[in-house]
Amino acid sequence: MLIRVAVITPEDFAPLITECAEEFTNILYTTYYYGNPMECDQLMEQIQDCDVLLFAGPLPYYFAMRTSGQRKLPAVYIPSDEYTLTLNLGHILLNREEGLKSLSVDIPKLAYLQQAVEEWQLDASGWCVRDYSQIIDGVGTNFDPEALIHFHRENVESGRANLVLTSVDYVHTQLRDAGIPCVNLIVPKKSIREALVKAAHFGQLMISENAQIAVGLAAINPVDGDLGTSTKPDAGIMLQQMLLELGKETDASIQQLGLDQFIIYGTRGSIEQMTGDFTHMPAMGNMEQLFNVTISMGFGFGMTAKEAEANARIGLFHARKQPESSSAFLVTNEKEVIGPLDVNPRAFHLKSDNRDILHVAEQTGLSVATITKLTSFINLRRDNRFTATDLAEYLQFSRRSAERMLKKLMDKGFVETVGEEQPYQQGRPRAVYRINF
């Protein structure tokens, strides 16, 4: 099985990755170069026809994830970890006359350097160190390449350091050109090979997933009352023509189940292509305006056609719960519901083996699906404080329904009020809640 890998790297680091990649006969790689890692989100727009992304380090991975995350592509990066730092400290000790007494260092995570220093049993009390841990842990110091350049330059010019060790290619280039004694982090071949093995493994999983059986269901819904006898056949004919064209483009089979419902047979890869990696429902032209209808679509994946069709019916059920507009939902073989399919689709699980979620569901009488929606809501916000209105908008509930849900959770101690907000000068203030599970 040939795995197509897109390698995102600085140009001067590419030969080392190429040398290691040539050892793997099952990898076909294409290289994309960047100068500043903060520009990698733009570079992602150029990448086509690949199974997995391989980044030269955690920085390009971090800045590209906004785009690659939407495309649902698996991605790995070559780490700048304690093993890498241990190798680099040894290299400086043996090859640089400045030695290790006065270093100015930038690293993704401080703990990596602490472990390397412990391995070498070094005295690092005179070192100037700055990390950018947010890219690894999601919290901590932000990454600012210009601030790092200023940090290192000031340390060397003031005499606090006589050598810079940087983990950022862009910073190394700028300091080197300015005549600052600087060493770029050496990446061991072992780390590159391990990242390539991981990329190949993820690529194989991706290809296997894309071959998974997929079923789609499309149905016509009247907007106002029943469709007229002449309108319904016309809408059905037009929908069938659109689906047949879509089937030709994605190698999927289309069959008519009734006057207003169709079934689509394909693979996971064909549905991903049809929905733009789950970012939009297939285009239905101007059927809504022509026939005063909406289109509901449900897609399902499974190990068998029966399982995929059952999941598609669940997706169609959720799509039909939004009668005011056309929508599509997708249900995976792991019972994850994704939708409505748009630029920012929501996701929740219909089942869970998470004991905390099961405990909350059992204590409150709420469904597992509802509790997983709630946890997805908090994870998406990265802020465990919200109002009933915030929750209602996310869940597409009425505010009253969201308040009833919150009351059940509060009665069992899973939610508490932590304050109030008053977005308008008049009217009652809104309670601000926090989840405790």
Residue bearing the bigger pLDDT, 373 or 409: 409
CA distances from 49 to 31, 46, 63, 67 (A): 13, 10, 21, 15
Q: What pTM does this model have?
A: 0.58
Residue bearing the bigger pLDDT, 323 or 105: 105
Q: What is the DSSP letter of 386?
A: B
pLDDT in tens, 300-313: 998 788 889 989 99
Q: Which two tokens stand for residue 411?
A: 């009665």
Domain chopping of the chain, boundaries? 3-78+189-208, 82-184, 211-345, 355-435
Q: What is the pLDDT of residue 363?
A: 86
Task: For the chain, give the percent of residues with pLDDT over 70.
Answer: 92
Q: What is the pLDDT of residue 68?
A: 45
CA atoms within 13 A on the CB side of 436: 12
Q: What's the whole-number average pLDDT of the chain?
A: 85
* Contact (Cβ atoms closer than 8 angstroms) between residue 180 and residue 153: yes
Residue 279 has pLDDT above 80, yes or no: yes
**Taking the CB of residue 31, how many other CB atoms lie within 10 A of it?**
16
Write out 271-328 in H/E/C secondary structure. Answer: HHHHCCCCCCCCCCCCHHHHHCEEEEEEEEEECCHHHHHHHHHHHHHHHHCCCCCCEE
Strand partners, 218: 262, 297
Residue bearing the bigger pLDDT, 58 or 344: 58
pLDDT in tens, 193-249: 999 999 988 888 777 777 788 999 999 988 765 544 445 568 888 888 888 988 888
Residue bearing the bigger pLDDT, 32 or 381: 32
CA atoms within 13 A on the CB side of 216: 31
Q: What is the pLDDT of residue 229?
A: 43
Strand partners, 415: 435
388-395 vs 368-381: helix crossing angle, rounded to 10 = 110
Fold of 355-435: Arc Repressor Mutant, subunit A (1.10.10)
* Contact (Cβ atoms closer than 8 angstroms) between residue 172 and residue 166: yes
Q: What is the pLDDT of residue 347?
A: 77
Residue in the block written with tokens 């270093």:
103
Topology match between the domains 211-345 and 355-435: no
Q: What is the pLDDT of residue 70?
A: 45
The CATH code of the domain at 211-345 is 3.30.70.270
Residue 188 has pLDDT above 70, yes or no: yes
Q: What is the pLDDT of residue 273?
A: 86
Q: What is the pLDDT of residue 230?
A: 45
Q: What is the pLDDT of residue 421?
A: 75
**Taking the CB of residue 84, how many other CB atoms lie within 10 A of it?**
22
| 82-184 to CATH, choices 1.10.3720.10, 3.40.50.1390, 3.40.50.10660, 3.30.360.10 | 3.40.50.10660
Task: For the chain, give the percent of residues with pLDDT over 90.
Answer: 37
pLDDT in tens, 378-420: 776 656 788 888 888 777 778 888 888 899 999 988 888 888 8
| 3-78+189-208 to CATH, choices 3.40.50.300, 1.10.10.10, 3.30.420.40, 3.40.50.2300 | 3.40.50.2300
